Structure 1
Amino acid sequence: MLPPTEEKLATIHIASFISSSLLGAGLLSLPRNVGEKVGTPDGWVSVLITGLLFMLIVYVMGKLCAFYPGETIYQYSEKIVGKGLGWIFNLFITFYFLIQAGILVRLMSEVTKMYLLFDTPIQITIGLFLMVVIYLVFGGIYPIASLFLFILPITMVILIIVLFLSLKTFDIKQLRPVLGLGIMPIFKGIIPSTPVYAGIEVILIISASMKDVQRAGRASVAGLIIPILVYTMVMVVVVGSLSIAGISHYLWPTLDMIRSFEIRGLIFQRFETLFLAIWLLQIFVTIVIVFYGVVLGLSQTFGKKINGFIFGMLPVVYVLSLIPKNVNEVMKWSDFVNTLSLILYGITFLLLLLTIVIRKKSRRNIYLESSEMEKMMNEDVSLR
């Protein structure tokens, strides 16, 4: 069951939920991942097109949620495909969230160690970070949504400031010629762009707490607009500053671009620490929601209280985060999670189709029963 809450989520909560869930790890690695595949300065077009495709996907998810107000995907999946297949799907999505949580925690600790806490073991960083995560998860969905709504404007203000100041190293010639090698390189960048939009599936969980679930699709699309604009801007600014050839030499191109300049006379002469601060906030909120997805899924699938699963899954996420030996292995795991997300989107589309078919069949049966009843009543009247 959902943790008890007296307040329901408004449309703005849902939009901020979607935006906050997506503005995480992709801020650092997106330019390199897409740029290497595209091979031209047109990677920003790939990111933009992928974002528009995900608008359609998240709208489909919202329409599915609208058929089952007050319920999460873990509850209505069994109504659609039966208890057996419903359990399998529930465990699949729970596994997806679990692996994602482990990877994000490890990524957070690696970046923190590389740029902030050089001598602190990642085991300590991971442990302390997870303690903060479960503290917020215990509060339930409304406190989580309220925190996301508070953090998102701060993140956007700092991101806009940092990207604007990065124009000091920006050269528009690095983005030319547009479509110099045609449109085919753009399609090569679509798959590498998809990981940054992984996170839209949270609508399948949080819609159960909405005041008006009929607006789930539109609220999700609205929330997706901010990440699309941010990631497109990041691609443009980073490639324009480091060049398409230069970004392949950096593990985290966005961060290295910010480190490449300083502005004297301001409170902050270098901005990587400020950027890392808001990035850590965003990675934190992403981990919170995926961890919440894990424990909620187990709770609703097995019909047990959520608190036990919160404590039980904490060491599991901790161990999973330590399995990758280095950053390269973390990236390989990320590719695996991306594959799982694409499978999840396909299954969600099938669930919507099945729901529509079931609803039409149900309405048809009701109509036939009503017609049969009316016919019997007419015959009875005629006999009298």
Structure 2
Amino acid sequence: MTNNITKFQLFFMLIQTQIGIGLLSLPHDVQKSANSDGWISTLIAGVAVQAMLVIYWKLLRRFPSLIYTEITQKILGVFLGKLLNIIIYMNFILVGGLVTILCIKLINSWLLPLTPGWIISLLILTACVYLAISDLKMIARFFVLASSLFLLLWFTSILSWPTPKEIQYILPFGSSGIKSIFMGSKDSLLAMLGFEGLLFFFPFIIENKKGVLKTISMANLFLTLFYTYFIFITLITFSTEQLAQMREPILILLRGISYKMVDRVDLIFLSIWIVPMTTSIISYLYFASRSMNAKKKHYSKFVLLNGFILFLITLIPNDDAFITLFNKYVSYLSYVVVFFIPTLLLILSFLLKKHEMSEST
């Protein structure tokens, strides 16, 4: 069974889908609302994600062999289900397009300023399509291997601790106010998107599914603490005024590390971090292709088609104003697909007494 995965692999597939380019700019994004309490906002966002994971788990237990877009048709019927699946598909395509655009812009800004964006896009998407076409077990193995790079980022961040730190930057706790902290958690929540991958991975878990809730909870705990740590370290290194001027504060943090034989650690790190950034694109290519209810024999064709669509999206002139607007509307759509629709499906499954053994309607 080439599409089967273990709970161990599920753990890394979820965090690889979630952690990527969003981490590098997260401290900048969160401080705009929460200021010095951004690390608290991230903890609150982690609690919100955990609540949604419980909802996913309850929904998937009622339909253990169906993926997200099959559950919609099971509960709502074929016609309404397919209409909803179009929205779900569009979300994954647009999120994949946004992530790809952000990757290209970051590489252009930090590594290859003279290389045309379409060439970077072509190279990235070619690699992503090649991996997304593979069976799920192969994708899972690659994600587990790529997760070792998280240790690299953590180890590199430790090297930055000798640089001046000011704990006063985050004192007193809660000074931004409850409203600002919750507004900041919204930005953290967007950076954590990707946990909806559970709705596509769950049917392929070969082990006892009773332990899945523990596995996904541990993945969420790891991600929340991982994000909180990096927001905390940037907040005590830079003032909120400085963070407001930095697009990627994590890279600025690493830029301050220098040795006699190694200089510009930030560029070395970013060259390696391209791998975790592209894993998110691979995941969203997979989600989009599966959202079309592609049968196994047609799946590869849909991956190629969706890869081409992502390439076309990256060709759109993407200045800062466009990216901000694009990100805004994609965020709204993601809230619907990731939070509202699964919750609605769970409620309807109880009200209509729908589960996998019920008769299809």
Q: TM-score, normalised by structure 2?
A: 0.92
Distance 1:14 1:353 in 2: 26
Which residue of structure 2 lines up, in the alignment, with residue 242 of structure 1? 238
Indicate the percent of aligned positions where both proteins have the same amino acid. Answer: 23
Which residue of structure 2 lines up, in the alignment, with residue 62 of structure 1? 57
Question: Over residues 107-136 of structure 1, what are the superposed CA-to-partner deviations in whole Å (9 max), with x where a residue is unaligned?
Answer: 111111111112111100101111111111
Flag the 1:328–1:236 CA change in 2: closer, same or farther, 3 A: farther
Distance 2:50 2:10 in 1: 14
Question: Over residues 152-202 of structure 1, what are the superposed CA-to-partner deviations in whole Å (9 max), with x where a residue is unaligned?
Answer: 1x2221121122122223221222221234433212212222211111111
**1:298 is aligned to 2:292:** yes
Which residue of structure 1 lines up, in the alignment, with residue 8 of structure 2? 12
Whether the aligned pair in 2 keeps the contact of 1:60 and 1:217 (CA below 8 Å) is: no
By how many angstroms is 1:282 displaced?
Answer: 1.2
By how many angstroms is 1:313 displaced?
Answer: 2.1
**1:349 is aligned to 2:343:** yes
Flag the 1:323–1:64 CA change in 2: closer, same or farther, 3 A: same
Spell out the pairing of 1:1-384 with structure 2 (5 A cutoff).
5-6=1-2, 8-38=4-34, 40-152=35-147, 154-167=148-161, 168-211=163-206, 212-259=208-255, 261-265=256-260, 268-300=262-294, 305-344=298-337, 345-359=339-353
Whether the aligned pair in 2 keeps the contact of 1:299 and 1:305 (CA below 8 Å) is: no
Which residue of structure 2 lines up, in the alignment, with residue 380 of structure 1? none
Flag the 1:204–1:363 CA change in 2: closer, same or farther, 3 A: closer
Whether the aligned pair in 2 keeps the contact of 1:137 and 1:288 (CA below 8 Å) is: yes
Question: Over residues 248-299 of structure 1, what are the superposed CA-to-partner deviations in whole Å (9 max), with x where a residue is unaligned?
Answer: 111222212221x12324x534321233134311111100010111112124
Question: Over residues 42-75 of structure 1, what are the superposed CA-to-partner deviations in whole Å (9 max), with x where a residue is unaligned?
Answer: 1110111111111111221122122222221121
Count of aligned residue pairs for this structure pair: 356
By how many angstroms is 1:213 displaced?
Answer: 3.7
Flag the 1:362–1:106 CA change in 2: closer, same or farther, 3 A: closer
Where 2:160 maps in the other structure, the secondary structure is helix
Supply the AA of the counterpart residue of 1:81. Answer: L
Q: TM-score, normalised by structure 1?
A: 0.87
Flag the 1:214–1:65 CA change in 2: closer, same or farther, 3 A: farther
Whether the aligned pair in 2 keeps the contact of 1:59 and 1:218 (CA below 8 Å) is: no
Distance 1:110 1:363 in 2: 48
Whether the aligned pair in 2 keeps the contact of 1:46 and 1:190 (CA below 8 Å) is: yes
Flag the 1:362–1:10 CA change in 2: closer, same or farther, 3 A: closer
Where 1:169 maps in the other structure, the secondary structure is coil
Supply the AA of the counterpart residue of 1:16. Answer: F
By how many angstroms is 1:217 displaced?
Answer: 3.0
Structure 2, unpaired ranges of 5+: none
Distance 2:130 2:196 in 1: 23
Structure label with greater radius of gyration = 1
Whether the aligned pair in 2 keeps the contact of 1:175 and 1:240 (CA below 8 Å) is: yes
Flag the 1:47–1:84 CA change in 2: closer, same or farther, 3 A: same
Deviates more, 1:22-31 or 1:174-183: 174-183
Supply the AA of the counterpart residue of 1:138. Answer: I
Distance 1:278 1:37 in 2: 31
Flag the 1:361–1:287 CA change in 2: closer, same or farther, 3 A: closer
By how many angstroms is 1:364 displaced?
Answer: 12
Deviates more, 1:281-290 or 1:329-338: 329-338
Supply the AA of the counterpart residue of 1:64. Answer: L
Distance 2:182 2:306 in 1: 39
Distance 1:197 1:10 in 2: 22
